[in-house]
Amino acid sequence: MQGVMRGYIRAVDAVNYRLGRVMMYGIFALMGVLLWSSISKTFFLPSLWTLEMAQFVMVGYYILGGPYSLQLGSNVRMDLLYGDWTVRRKAWFDAITVFFLIFYLCVLLYGAIGSTAYSLGYWKTEPLSFFAGLITGAEQIGRLEQSPTAWRPYMWPVKTVMIVGFFLMILQCISELFKDILRLKGADI
């Protein structure tokens, strides 16, 4: 069982590490969009797409970088008590509290799936059956949702990024749970 946990940890950590390293450079894309926004507002006609594109880039940067942040332990913690605990006590605490995070992320994932289904033109209440129907050919994509702004971009790409990010975050949380279990057993990670 420990071998399976270690294999899972290696695989998930490798994917999230590489994606996180790429997403670190998303801040430069965001800066580029905002710089162009400032230049176009000052010297030319204001671009209609810059504010919304900056929001979309920030969503990708934040949500796809989340698993990497969790992997590095750079997420926010209250170190008032936690910082003085032993490694074993931290592992116990983390192993229990990660279930709350996993539950929260599952709720967010389900909401993102529903929102993405809506953006693809599905207006009923069963988003999972809609995606299953897309795979089998029983469902078709309807009228695609667009932003109500003047630029009017399609919303499904950014909502798909949310699904991928929440899913990867859940996988990373399970990896962190396995690391805590291995620490409690005294095994090497």
Confidence of residue 27 (pLDDT cuts 50, 70, 90): very high
pTM above the 0.85 mark? yes
Cβ contact 29:57 at 8 Å:
yes
In this model, does residue 177 exceed pLDDT 90?
yes
What integer pLDDT is reported at residue 147 of this predicted model? 92
What integer pLDDT is reported at residue 77 of this predicted model? 72
Tokens of 137: 């050919």
- pLDDT (average), residues 107-136: 93
Range of the domain at 22: 2-77+84-185
> Of all helices (H) and strands (E), which one includes residue 7?
helix 2-23
Distance CA 173, CA 113 (A): 19
What integer pLDDT is reported at residue 152 of this predicted model? 93
Residues with Cβ within 8 Å of residue 24, at least 6 apart in sequence: 65, 68
- The string of pLDDT tens digits covering residues 8-25 is 999 999 999 999 999 999
In this model, does residue 69 exceed pLDDT 90?
yes
What integer pLDDT is reported at residue 108 of this predicted model? 97
Total domains, the chain: 1
Cβ contact 12:178 at 8 Å:
no
Q: Which residue matches tokens 């995070």?
A: 101
In this model, does residue 46 exceed pLDDT 90?
no
In this model, does residue 168 exceed pLDDT 90?
yes
Q: Which amino acid is at 111?
A: G
Distance CA 118, CA 188 (A): 45
Distance CA 138, CA 11 (A): 34
- pLDDT (average), residues 159-168: 97
